[in-house]
Amino acid sequence: MSSRYRGLYLRALAPEGPLSLGADDLRHVRTALAADDGDTGDDGPELPSLIEEAGRWSAQENARFRTVLATPAPGPAEPEQQEILRRILRNCAPLALSAGAWLQWIPAPGNSETEPVLTVLSLYASDVGAGRPLADRGSEYRALLRGHGIVEETPGVRLASSEYVEGFSFRLPALLLAMSRRPVAFLPEILGADLCLRTVGLIPPLAAALGAGDYEGVDPAALDLGGARPGTAASGRELSLAATRAYLEDRHALEGPAGGEAATRRLLGGFRWAQREIRVWSERLRHEVVLSQHPDYGVWRLIHARARQAAVYHSRFKLAGRPLSEWFADVDAGPRPFLRALAKSPLVRPGKPDASPLLGRLIGPKGPMFRIFTEEEIATLHRWIALLPEPGSVLHPLPGTDSVTHQDLHGAQESWHTQGSDLAAESARAAPLPPAPPRLLTTAAARTAYRALLGREDSAELRAFAHAYATRWLARSRYAMDRAPEQLPARWDPENGLREWLARAHDRHAESFQRGEAALPTRAELIDSTLQLAPLIMIDGGWLQGFTDYQHASSRSGHFLFRTYWDELGNGEPELNHPRIYRALLRDMGIDLPPTASREFSAWTGFRDESFAMPAFWLSVSRFPETFMPEILGLNLAMELSGVGGSYRDARVALRHHGFSTQFVDLHNTIDNVATGHSAWAADAIDAYLADLPAVLGPGQQDAVWDRIRVGHRSLNPPGGTAAELYATLRGRRAHRTRRPTRTSRI
C-alpha cells in the first residue's frame, strides 16, 4: 500500500504524463472519494457546518501536536527536538511542496470565459505567486526545508523514494494530483477538497512545529493555505469559497435545480473526503512522532533502510553467533532480537558512543564503512548508544509513552519500505508518447480536432495527433528560414539579450503604420476578418496553457509565461477577459457565437476551415510544455509582438471608421508593449531560459536551443506552398525514424 501512493504521486506529477494515470489509478481515486462516512445531504446549512467543524479540528489537532512536542524525550534536548521537527517537516513535504497544485488544470482554453474558472484561476495565481519567480507556496516550503538541511526539497523521485518520509504521507497529495489531471471528471470534488484544506489552513503538524522550533525568517502565514499571499487582498479561504459558490451557481443556472443539487452533493463529498484524509494522516503522523521519541526507533529505521545493501557485504562478521548478513536479510522478523544482539556486540559500548568501534574506526577515513552513514544517521546512532543502559535491556524506558513497544516499531515498518528502482520506473512511465507517423494534417482535420483540444484531458489518439500536428507545423516553419524577413537574429547575444532587437522590431511596426501601408477594409471585409479570427482569439493565450502546470508556473522562465496567460484572461476580472471582450465586439457586429467549447462553435458555418489551422497548432504545441519549450518561447515572443505599434493601430482605425468598439485592440496595444508588457516579458523569458541553460545542460547547448526558439518564432507565420509542405513531410519522416520527442530541462 505504501508504494502505491508513492508511485501514483510520481505519475501524477508529470506535466506531460497524464496518460500514465491508468484505469486502476482512476478507480482508486473514485473508491477513495466514495468511502465517505458522513451525511450526503445537500441542505444549505451543511457547508457552513463543515467549515466550522474543519476549523475546530485544526485548532484541536494543533494543540495535540504541541503537547506531544512538549513531552521530554531521553537524551540531549536540542538534537532530539531537531530530529523530531525534521521528521514533521519531511512528512508535510509531499503536500506542502505542491500546495494548490490540485487546481492546475481546471483552467483550459475552452472554459476560460466562465466566472467559476476565472475565480479558480485567481486563487491558483495567488498560490503560484503570479508575476514573480519561485514565489509559489511550494518554494516557500523548499526554503524552510533547506534551512534545516533537508535535501528532499523537490517533488519527484528523490522525495518519493525517501526513507524518511512515510508512505501514508503521499496518499492525500497523490490523490489530489491525480484528480488535478482529470478536472472534468473530478471538478466539484477538487473544489470541495480545496475549500476544506483552505479552512484547515496551516496544517496542524506544521503549525505545531513552527511554534516549537527556531524558524527565524520564516513567515508561517506564507505556508497557510487559507491565508492571503503578497499582492492579493483576498485570502485563500475567501477565494476558495468564492470559487465554490460561483461553480454551484453556474451548475444551477445551466442544469436547473437537479443539476445544482447533484453538484452540491459532490462538492460537499469532496470536502468531507479531504477532511477525513487530513485527519487520518495527521493522527498517523502524530503517532509516528511519539514513536520517534523512543531511542530505538531511529536506529531501527536506519537498519531497516540499509538492510538490502548491507546483506551483501557482511557474511563474515558474526553477531550473536549468526552472520551479520543473515540478520540483515531477516529484518522483517522485527527489531528486538537484532537490537539486543547489536547492543551486546563488540561494536557498541553502551553509554559510550565515542568509544564504540561502530562510531570510531569503522566509519573513519580508513575504516571499511567510511561515508556509509550521513551526519544525520551518525547522530541517530550516537544518541542510541549514549542512552543504552549498562548493562540490561535495550528497550529504553520513555516517560509518558509507556504504550510504545518494539511491536509498535515493527508494525511501523510497512510505511518506510520503498523500492527506489521501482519509483524511478514510475517516473519513466510518465514520459510523453512517441510521435505518430507523419501524415497529411489538413485544415479540415484541424477543425475536427479543435473542440477535443480545448480541454486538458487526453486520449492516446488525441495526444498522438497533437504531437504530429505540432511537429509538422514546426517543420514547415523551418523551411527557408534564413531567407525570411524580420526573423530573430542568427545567434543570441548573451551580453545584451533580446531587448535591443525588440526595440528595433517595434520601430519597424511604427514606421509601417506611419507610412499608412494598410488599406482600409470595407465594413463587410472587417466583419468577416474579425469573425475568422474568433477560433483563435477565443483561446487567447492558449499556446501557454501548459504553463499553468505547478512545476512551470513559477519557474525562472515559466513565470513570465504564466503571468502572460493570466493577463490574457483578465487577471480574474471578467470585464478584462480577452475572449469576453472579443465576443462583445462580435455581438456589436451582429454575430452571437455559441460557447467556445460547444459542438456548435466548431461547426459554425460562418467559419472557414483554415480559420482553425493556427488555433489547432496553439492547442497542440501547448500540450508539450517540456518537449517544445524552446519553440513555445519563440512563438510567445512572435505572438505578443505581432501587433504592437502597427497592426493593432491599423485595426483601431478600421474599427473606429465603421463605428465598432476598439477596446480589444487598444487593450492589446498597451499590455503587449515592449517596455513593461507582454512583449518585454516574452523577451525576458527567453533571455532567462538561455542564460540558465549551461548550468542545466552543460556548455555548448545554447546555439541548438536558440535555433529551436527561432523556429518557434517563425511558427506564427510559417511558409505555405508545395515546397514547404514537401520539406515538412521529409523532415518529419526523418525525425520519426531517429528519435522520440525529447524534453528540454525545466529551468
Q: What is the pLDDT of residues 99-108, one digit of tens each?
A: 999 999 999 9
Write down the pLDDT at residue 217. 65
pLDDT-derived band at 416 (thresholds 50, 70, 90) equals low
Q: Are 322 and 329 in contact (CB under 8 A)?
A: no
For residue 327, the tally of other CB atoms under 10 A from its CB is 23
pLDDT-derived band at 419 (thresholds 50, 70, 90) equals very low
- Quick one: cell of 720? 505555405
pLDDT-derived band at 420 (thresholds 50, 70, 90) equals very low
pLDDT-derived band at 62 (thresholds 50, 70, 90) equals very high
Position 272 pLDDT exceeds 70: yes
Q: What is the pLDDT of residues 622-650, one digit of tens each?
A: 999 999 999 999 999 999 988 776 678 88
Write down the pLDDT at residue 72. 66
Q: What is the mean pLDDT of residues 285-298?
A: 87
If one compares 558 and 699, the residue with the highest pLDDT of the two is 558
CA distance 29 to 178: 8
Position 734 pLDDT exceeds 80: no
CA distance 153 to 299: 23
Position 413 pLDDT exceeds 70: no
SS (H, E, C) 233-296: CCCHHHHHHHHHHHHHHHHHHHHHHHHHHHHHHHHHHHHHHHHHHHHHHHHHHHHHHHHHCCHH
Write down the pLDDT at residue 88. 95
Q: What is the mean pLDDT of residues 343-363?
A: 89
Q: What is the pLDDT of residues 494-535, one digit of tens each?
A: 888 999 998 888 888 677 667 776 689 999 999 999 999 999
Write down the pLDDT at residue 433. 42
Write down the pLDDT at residue 78. 63
Question: Among the listed ranges 9-13, 118-122, 548-552, 739-743, which one has the minimum average pLDDT value?
Answer: 739-743
Residue type, 298: G
Position 348 pLDDT exceeds 80: yes
pLDDT-derived band at 440 (thresholds 50, 70, 90) equals very low
Write down the pLDDT at residue 685. 95
**Residue 704 phi, psi dihedral angles, 5° rounding:** -65, -40
For residue 687, the tally of other CB atoms under 10 A from its CB is 20
CA distance 653 to 520: 8
Taking the alpha carbons of 713, 714, 718, 722 in that order, is the dihedral positive or negative?
Answer: negative
- Quick one: cell of 732? 518529419
CA distance 694 to 64: 49
- Quick one: cell of 334? 522485527
**Residue 442 phi, psi dihedral angles, 5° rounding:** -80, 165
Beta strands in 540-682 (DSSP E): none
Helix (H) or strand (E) holding 619: helix 613-621
Q: What is the pLDDT of residues 644-683, one digit of tens each?
A: 766 788 889 999 999 999 999 999 888 888 888 899 999 9
CA distance 83 to 379: 9
SS (H, E, C) 528-567: HHHHHCHHHHCCCCHHHHHHHCHHHHCCCCHHHHHHHHHH
pLDDT-derived band at 412 (thresholds 50, 70, 90) equals low
List the one residue out of 279, 255, 266, 258 whose CA is nearest residue 188.
266
Write down the pLDDT at residue 223. 92
Compute CA distances 368 → 307, 365, 372, 381, whole Å: 17, 9, 9, 17
Q: What is the mean pLDDT of residues 686-701?
A: 88
Write down the pLDDT at residue 415. 61
Q: Assign residue 134 a region: left if phi > 0, alpha if psi is -120 to 50, beta otherwise?
A: left
Q: What is the pLDDT of residues 161-220, one digit of tens each?
A: 988 899 999 999 999 999 999 999 999 999 999 999 999 999 999 999 988 766 666 778
pLDDT-derived band at 688 (thresholds 50, 70, 90) equals very high
CA distance 403 to 438: 66
Write down the pLDDT at residue 163. 84
List the one residue out of 268, 270, 269, 248 whose CA is nearest residue 260.
248
Write down the pLDDT at residue 657. 95
Position 571 pLDDT exceeds 60: yes
Taking the alpha carbons of 187, 191, 196, 198 in that order, is the dihedral positive or negative?
Answer: positive
Residue type, 208: A
**Residue 369 phi, psi dihedral angles, 5° rounding:** -120, 25
Number of H helices, E strands in the chain: 34, 2
Compute CA distances 590 → 583, 602, 648, whole Å: 11, 19, 22
Helix (H) or strand (E) holding 211: helix 204-212
